[in-house]
Amino acid sequence: MQPLVFMGGTFDPVHNGHLRTALELKQWLGVDQVCLIPSGAPVHRDAPGCTPRQRLDMVRLAVQDESALGVDPREVESTEPSYSLLTLQALRRERGESCPIIMTMGMDAYRTLPSWHEWESFLEYAHILVLARPGYEGSGTDERLLRFTREHQTSAVGELLGQPAGKVHIQELTPLGISATQIRRLIAQGQSPRYLLPEPVWHYIRQHKLYGYH
């Protein structure tokens, strides 16, 4: 059975750091597709600069010509708050007990994991694949997270594909120091974010005057 590999995020907006990382992940793991899951109502951060629908539209535009990448609208379309735990439980129910599920996130997100709802039970449903991100070297200083990492970490990626859940793996792909924060700032300052994100997404931002575009 094909493992399910997904990347959650606000994607406010989606950018080439997300897309290049997801594509490399797909190739490196040898799976058919990596799925992006934009969050609905965010619980971990300030309100985003546009609506959940618009963030979903932009992810759709970003992956429309790339069969290696997919989008799952469930969190945006759900009326419940976006808790990763609920998504993990739903994915596990849908995929059955033996399908490997790999939840990927950047090191910056991983460092905040101890503030996520019921984070310690995530490994019952999935593996966690952590991607190195420029500016976030190492797993941080939170003792609970360091212990969690020590207890579950594997250096053998085969273990992620050979069992349904339960492992943490940290991987470095091509480092790309692009963030949505930087893109929003450039746009608000009247500067171009071109080449940091797909052209159709930049077009959508201008069309809808998002992030203070003027």
Return residues touching ligand ATP (CB under 6 A): 7, 9-12, 17-18, 21, 105-106, 108-109, 131, 133, 176, 178-181
CB of 98 to ligand ATP, least distance (A): 26
Residue nearest to ligand ATP (CB): 106
Residue 96: CB minimum distance to ligand ATP, A = 26
* Minimum CB distance to ligand ATP smaller for 29 or for 93: 29
Cis peptide before 13 (omega within 30 of 0): yes
Question: Measured from the CB of residue 42, what is the shortest distance to ligand ATP in angstroms?
Answer: 9
Between 7 and 165, name the residue whose CB sits nearer to ligand ATP. Answer: 7
Q: Which is nearer to ligand ATP, 6 or 125 (CB)?
A: 6
User: In the bound complex, what is the minimum distance in angstroms from residue 152's beta carbon to ligand ATP?
Assistant: 18
Nearest approach, Cβ of residue 189 and ligand ATP (Å)? 16
Nearer to ligand ATP, 36 or 165 (CB): 36
Nearer to ligand ATP, 96 or 135 (CB): 135
